[in-house]
């Protein structure tokens, strides 16, 4: 394997995960590789394809991606071709003839090509040794770039006896399981390396002066190559107009431009003729430009998969690069509108993903760690040390709370789930606690004066700093926790202690006060009617549920509720606080 790697690709050693995936394929076993952007996914099917001989069929979603891969292979002395709609009839016939005479080692095609009967008939005559799915997340209906044509391909290729190799950089647990099921890939044939990339510095900027921030940033990085993603074509055009006035060299890309203009603009950017690309999310997949120094998202994407794939186009050469997300509440409404226009069957799933994306913009934990945890919840986390949150260390010293949490976790004969750990720390009366005699522990009730959400925040800090490791939803102390227990390090976090008048209302409960919840919905409906907006844009049902559970009666208490920002606190919350106070006055 190393000989092939050195001879054709110029590398002496394989990267993490590559050797294992290649070995599976050489043993005629199907496999799934989830490797980070720039992690060498194509080598995982190119090396075994060369070794196995015959033809490797690569199913790829984009024409530009096919052309780049084929050009690279041919330049390395490996015979490869692609079939797509850009070819002239004579060029296509020449390639088909070459396939019939076994002249190619690799053939790249789009999944839509399988709709042609003549193509399917031709494949039956070829010596196919391996079928690879590039950008494999497109197979899954839970993937952010789902292509129904990808799934239709599977019905046809199932007749081939060769192994399948699926590779992608972005796959949540749901997407991973979906791909495995469709391609019949066993759990022990999934190789997943960390999605973390040490050279990227992630930042979230909740500025209301987006245009000013972008102008100043790009002006101070005129010699760097960068991508600015905007949520709509209109926004792309508006930013481009501003850059024209500032004489900032740039180009633009969105689906509303003529095809020839899009291709010309893309070429300018890729070939370093133009340093800045302003684009919608129609731009980027398959663009292997290694020297992108920054990616700025002018608007928040709909999910973390999209964000990470787009932001991950920065720094593919391994050099330090920045990924900056500008965020405002208007972005949430824009994405909610997009979701409302999608297939009803997947709207709920998209809403869940949007909530995770919003959480990313609000979290005080390591931003890179938050992304890693989203894709692989079982991975041991450590602070990246360079994201906006890591550089803005918390001002609250939670070392005492950390000692109590870690001591309790150890005494509970780990591993245990988060909720049970919190209940023991709060000293709650619970049958499970009594069954396991946790109420007899010296650590029982050590944090009884803290709210559930605050203890959970402390646990998150320990998790994201690597002192606790969570696997399959259960927590264990990592060996590095010894540093805290032995007093060798302090643990800092973002936390403001607050005194609640109604401690009894802040509990780890699952019951919602339905009467209060109904009253809160009426307040929301009235407010929405006055403002002529949909009710969910005021507060989601989830936030109203938290209001009904925790019954905050002041702005100081309300601001700690998930879904309440500073604008909504000022303009909307007073009416909900009045509603809660009225309810409590009657209840008393």
Cα-only R_g, the chain:
27
What CA–CA distance (Å, rounded) separates 87 from 176?
34
For residue 468 the two structure tokens come to 């606790």
**pLDDT tens string for the chain (588 positions)?**
888 988 887 788 898 899 999 999 999 999 999 998 767 889 999 999 999 999 999 998 877 778 878 888 888 889 999 998 888 889 989 999 999 999 999 999 988 898 889 898 999 899 999 999 998 888 887 776 777 887 888 888 878 889 999 999 888 888 999 999 999 999 999 999 888 899 999 999 988 789 899 999 999 998 899 999 999 999 999 999 999 988 999 999 999 999 899 989 998 998 889 999 999 998 876 677 888 999 999 999 999 999 998 999 999 888 999 999 998 888 898 899 989 988 887 888 889 999 999 999 999 999 999 999 999 899 999 999 999 999 987 889 999 999 999 999 999 987 899 999 999 999 998 888 998 999 999 999 999 999 898 999 999 999 999 999 999 889 999 999 999 999 999 999 988 775 443 333 333 334 567 888 889 999 998 998 888 877 777 888 788 888 988 899 988 888 888 778 777 888 899 999 999 998 888 765
Give the burial class of 377: count Cβ atoms within 10 A of its Cβ; 0-12 exposed, 13-18 middle, 19 or more buried: middle
Tally of residues, the chain: 588
Q: Which residue has the tokens 């096919």?
A: 66
- Lay out the sheet containing 80-83: strands in order across: 80-83, 106-109, 55-59, 128-133, 164-168, 31-34, 190-192
Closest CA to 354 of 369, 371, 339: 339
Residue 438: its pLDDT value, please? 93
Q: Which residue has the tokens 């609000």?
A: 362
CATH for the stretch 514-587: 1.10.150.80
Residue 507: its pLDDT value, please? 36
Residue 9: its pLDDT value, please? 78
Which residues have CB under 8 Å from 13's CB, separation 6+? 2, 5
Residue 49: its pLDDT value, please? 94
For residue 272 the two structure tokens come to 């370093």
For residue 69 the two structure tokens come to 């891969």
Maximum Cα interatomic distance, the chain, rounded to a whole number of Å: 87
Which residues have CB under 8 Å from 171's CB, separation 6+? 34, 136, 137, 140, 143, 179, 192, 375
Residue 448: its pLDDT value, please? 92
Closest CA to 246 of 219, 225, 220: 219
CB count in 10 Å sphere of residue 540: 18
Do the domains at 2-192 and 200-372 have one common CATH topology?
A: yes
What backbone torsions phi and psi does residue 196 show, to the nearest 5 degrees? -70, 145
**196 close to 244: Cβ distance less than 8 angstroms:** no
For residue 240 the two structure tokens come to 């481009």
Phi-psi region of 372 (alpha: psi -120 to 50; beta: other; left: phi over 0): alpha
Angle at alpha carbon of residue 547, lines to 541 and 551, rounded to 5°: 160
200-372 folds as Rossmann fold (3.40.50)
Q: What are the residue ranges spanned by the domains of the chain?
A: 2-192, 200-372, 393-497, 514-587
* C-alpha to C-alpha distances, 66 to 45, 82, 134, 137, 341, nearest whole angstrom: 14, 7, 10, 17, 31
- Lay out the sheet containing 468-471: strands in order across: 416-417, 474-477, 468-471
Residue 286: its pLDDT value, please? 62
Which residues have CB under 8 Å from 539's CB, separation 6+? 524, 547, 563, 564, 568, 572, 576
Pairing relationship of beta strands 128-133 and 164-168 according to DSSP bridges? parallel
**551 close to 501: Cβ distance less than 8 angstroms:** no
Which residues have CB under 8 Å from 128's CB, separation 6+? 54, 55, 56, 57, 160, 162
Residue 253: its pLDDT value, please? 95
Identify the DSSP state of 188.
Answer: G
What CA–CA distance (Å, rounded) separates 368 from 365?
9
Residue 509: its pLDDT value, please? 37
Closest CA to 360 of 225, 205, 544: 205
**123 close to 57: Cβ distance less than 8 angstroms:** yes
Which residues have CB under 8 Å from 297's CB, separation 6+? 229, 307, 310, 311, 324, 325, 326
Pairing relationship of beta strands 292-297 and 416-417 according to DSSP bridges? unpaired
Superfamily of domain 2-192: P-loop containing nucleotide triphosphate hydrolases (3.40.50.300)
CB count in 10 Å sphere of residue 538: 22
SS3 state at 570:
helix
CATH architecture classification, 393-497? Orthogonal Bundle (1.10)
Please give the helix or strand (H or E) that residue 33 lies within, else none: strand 31-34
């Amino acid at each position: 394997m190393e000989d092939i790697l050195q001879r054709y690709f110029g590398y002496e050693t394989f990267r993490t995960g590559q050797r294992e995936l290649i070995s599976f394929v050489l043993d005629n076993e199907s496999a799934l590789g989830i490797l980070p952007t720039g992690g060498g996914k194509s080598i995982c099917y190119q090396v075994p394809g060369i070794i196995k001989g015959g033809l490797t069929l690569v199913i790829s979603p984009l024409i530009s991606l096919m052309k780049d891969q084929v050009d690279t292979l041919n330049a390395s002395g490996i015979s490869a071709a692609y079939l797509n709609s850009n070819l002239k009839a004579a060029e296509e016939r020449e390639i088909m003839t070459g396939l019939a005479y076994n002249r190619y080692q690799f053939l790249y095609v789009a999944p839509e090509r399988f709709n042609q009967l003549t193509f399917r008939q031709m494949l039956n005559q070829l010596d196919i040794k391996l079928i690879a799915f590039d950008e494999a997340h497109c197979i899954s209906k839970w993937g952010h770039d789902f292509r129904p044509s990808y799934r239709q391909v599977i019905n046809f290729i199932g007749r081939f006896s060769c192994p399948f190799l699926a590779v992608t950089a972005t796959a949540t647990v749901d997407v991973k399981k979906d791909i495995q099921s469709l391609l019949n890939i066993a759990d022990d044939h999934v190789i997943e390396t960390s999605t973390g990339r040490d050279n990227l510095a992630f930042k979230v900027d909740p500025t209301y002066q987006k245009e000013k921030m972008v102008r100043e940033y790009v002006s101070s990085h005129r010699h760097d190559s960068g991508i600015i993603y905007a949520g709509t074509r209109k926004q792309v055009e508006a930013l481009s107009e501003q850059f024209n006035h500032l004489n900032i060299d740039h180009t633009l890309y969105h689906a509303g431009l003529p095809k020839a203009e899009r291709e010309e603009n893309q070429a300018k950017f890729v070939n370093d003729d133009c340093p800045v690309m302003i684009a919608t999310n129609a731009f980027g997949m398959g663009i292997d430009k290694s020297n992108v120094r920054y990616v700025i998202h002018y608007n928040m994407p709909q999910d973390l998969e999209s964000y990470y794939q787009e932001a991950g186009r920065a720094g593919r050469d391994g050099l330090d690069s920045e990924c900056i997300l500008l965020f405002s509440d208007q972005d949430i409404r824009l994405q909610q509108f997009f979701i409302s226009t999608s297939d009803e069957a997947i709207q709920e799933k998209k809403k869940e993903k949007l909530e995770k994306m919003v959480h990313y913009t609000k979290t005080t934990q390591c931003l890179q760690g938050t992304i890693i945890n989203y894709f692989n919840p079982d991975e041991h986390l450590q602070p990246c040390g360079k994201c906006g949150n890591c550089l803005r260390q918390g001002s609250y010293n939670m070392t005492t709370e950390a000692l109590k949490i870690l001591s309790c976790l150890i005494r509970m004969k780990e591993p245990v789930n988060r909720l049970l750990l919190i209940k023991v720390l709060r000293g709650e009366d619970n049958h499970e606690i009594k069954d396991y005699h946790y109420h007899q522990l010296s650590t029982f009730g050590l944090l009884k004066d803290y709210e559930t959400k605050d203890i959970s925040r402390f646990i998150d800090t320990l998790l994201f700093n690597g002192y606790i490791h969570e696997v399959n939803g259960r927590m264990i102390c990592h060996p590095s926790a010894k540093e805290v227990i032995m007093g060798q390090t302090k643990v800092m976090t973002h936390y403001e202690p607050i005194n609640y008048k109604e401690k009894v209302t802040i509990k780890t409960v699952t019951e919602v006060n339905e009467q209060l919840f109904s009253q809160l919905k009426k307040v929301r409906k009235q407010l929405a009617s006055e403002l002529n907006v949909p009710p969910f844009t005021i507060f989601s049902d989830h936030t109203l549920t938290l209001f009904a559970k925790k019954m905050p009666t002041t702005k100081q208490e309300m601001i700690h509720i998930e879904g309440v920002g500073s604008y909504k606190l000022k303009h909307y919350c007073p009416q909900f606080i009045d509603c809660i106070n009225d309810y409590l006055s009657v209840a008393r």
